[in-house]
Amino acid sequence: MCQLCHNVNHAKILELDVCSNVKKIPKTLINLKSLICDNANIVDIPNTLVNLEDLNCPNTSICMIPDTLINLKYLICDNTNITDIPNTLVNLEELHCPNTSICMIPDTLINLKYLNIVNTWVSSIPDTLIELEWLYFNDTYVSSIPDTLVNLKYLNCANTGVKSIPDTLVNLDTYYYN
């Protein structure tokens, strides 16, 4: 049985994997650094969790990431109802959001090293993501790869409109495309 007790206000890590009893995260968890709620019944993330660095919420009913989570470095939100990634998440290093209705990746996410947008509505990759090393965007509407992604080591763009890979991607070790 999972339930949140009243003395969790100073918690740094909260794991609620497959927890069906907890439906709401307390707003008072302002010291929380990591929230893991895979397959839980959580429907929203409080905007007061400003110190949160790691949010792992796949297979939940969450439909919005608060724009106040400016310290977030890792976001895993596969198979959720999320449609937008806030442009304020400038410290984000890893974004996993396959099988969502996301349409756009903000060009402000300049610290991203890993991006997985498989099977989303995204149609373009921002050319500002120059730190990217891993990029998965198969089964999307993307039709070109920015030539500025010079740090890219792994690329999967199968089942997209991509016809060629820029010559500037000299660090590319592994790639899959049409």
pLDDT, tens digit, 9 for 90 and up, residues 82-120: 999 999 999 999 999 999 999 999 999 999 999 999 999
What are the backbone angles phi and psi of residue 10, rounded to the nearest 5°? -105, 10
More confident residue, 50 or 18: 50
pLDDT above 70 for 3: no
pTM: 0.93
Q: What is the pLDDT of residues 4-45, one digit of tens each?
A: 545 567 789 999 887 778 888 999 999 999 999 999 989 999
